[in-house]
């Protein structure tokens, strides 16, 4: 997989993408990252990339012609181009899984007051939001997407089994995990996890996962119930 990130601040991205699992994946040739400064496509001698908004308002807006040129410089026939934007599709684990099937992602990072609306309307394949809050730019959001997507690619994680029972892969959060020391400040690792009985351990993890989800994220179970009902309806030919 190759990911090209279009940004006004490429130096914000290089550090996080050069270490840990992502850095190893890049070194092994499993993941290619391109960081491109949108300002290289700016207008005029001063490489202007933004202008005042039509209709008035505060802040500056990134120009559509500048972003178009930046996209054109990296776009390939297999590219899937996404704009990081608050109005985008909510980024979730299923979305990450879907994006991991692409061979080339292009992520556009907005800045200032925003990006000319014609970028979302005519130049990209979609928009993504990582949450209901506003950042100073799209760089941190793009890094979140790269991390979540890249780890789902074959061989990027050392142990592919790590992906099987994670939070958000189903309608529940993952059960708590423990390691040594067995006793810490009077708090013990649950006895069942030390029993060696795989059936009991599996049952404990399932029950703990259900309890944790009910306490912290009951919306996950509710959403799965609705989605399941909709899938049944579709199977029966209902709209």
User: Is residue 13 a part of any domain in this protein?
Assistant: yes
Sign of CA dihedral 55, 58, 64, 65: positive
- The DSSP H or E segment spanning 25 is helix 20-27
Q: What is the pLDDT of residue 170?
A: 77
Structural contact between residues 107 and 142, judged by C-beta atoms closer than 8 angstroms: yes
| End residue of a domain, out of 120, 150, 180 | 150
- Considering the domain architecture, whether residues 57 and 90 belong to the same structural domain is answered as yes
- Same domain? For 36 and 115 the reply is yes
pLDDT of residue 239: 61
pLDDT of amino acid 125? 98
116, 214: one domain: no
Q: What is the pLDDT of residue 234?
A: 62
Strands (E), 177-216: 183-184, 187-188
Q: Could you say which residues of the chain have pLDDT below 70?
A: 160-166, 224-239
pLDDT value, residue 158: 76
List pLDDT tens digits, range 129-163.
Answer: 999 999 999 999 999 999 999 999 999 997 766 66
User: For the chain, how many structural domains are there in total?
Assistant: 2
Apex 140 CA angle, 60 and 171, nearest 5:
125
Domain of 221, in residue numbers: 165-235
116 falls within a domain:
yes
DSSP assignment, residue 77?
T
Give yes or no: residues 85 and 113 share one domain. Answer: yes
Q: What is the C-alpha to C-alpha distance for residues 80 and 161, in angstroms, rounded to an integer?
A: 28
pLDDT value of position 44? 97
pLDDT at position 93: 94
Q: Concatenate the DSSP letters of all residues of 105-118 into one string.
A: EEEEE--TTEE-HH
> Whole-prediction pTM value?
0.89
Residue 155 located in a structural domain = no
């Amino acid at each position: 997989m190759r990911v090209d990130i279009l940004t006004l601040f490429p130096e914000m991205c290089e550090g996080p993408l050069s270490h840990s699992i992502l850095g190893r994946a890049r070194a092994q040739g499993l993941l290619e990252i391109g960081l491109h400064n949108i300002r290289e496509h700016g207008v005029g001698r001063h490489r202007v990339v933004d202008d005042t908004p039509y209709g008035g308002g505060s802040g500056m807006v990134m120009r559509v012609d500048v972003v178009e040129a930046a996209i054109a410089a990296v776009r390939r026939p297999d590219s899937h181009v996404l704009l990081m934007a608050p109005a985008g599709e909510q980024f979730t684990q299923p979305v990450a899984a879907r994006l991991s099937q692409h061979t080339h992602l292009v992520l556009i990072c907005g800045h200032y007051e925003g990006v000319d609306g014609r970028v979302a309307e005519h130049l990209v394949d979609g928009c993504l939001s990582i949450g209901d809050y506003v950042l100073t730019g799209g760089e941190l959001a793009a890094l979140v997407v790269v991390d979540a997507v890249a780890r789902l690619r074959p061989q990027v994680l050392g142990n592919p089994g790590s992906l099987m029972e994670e939070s958000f892969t189903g309608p529940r959060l993952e059960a708590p995990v423990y390691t040594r020391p067995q006793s810490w400040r009077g708090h013990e690792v649950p006895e069942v996890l030390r029993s060696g009985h795989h059936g009991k351990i599996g049952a404990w993890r399932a029950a703990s996962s259900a309890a944790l989800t009910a306490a912290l994220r009951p919306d996950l179970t509710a959403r799965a119930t609705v989605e399941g009902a909709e899938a049944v309806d579709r199977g029966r030919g209902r709209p």
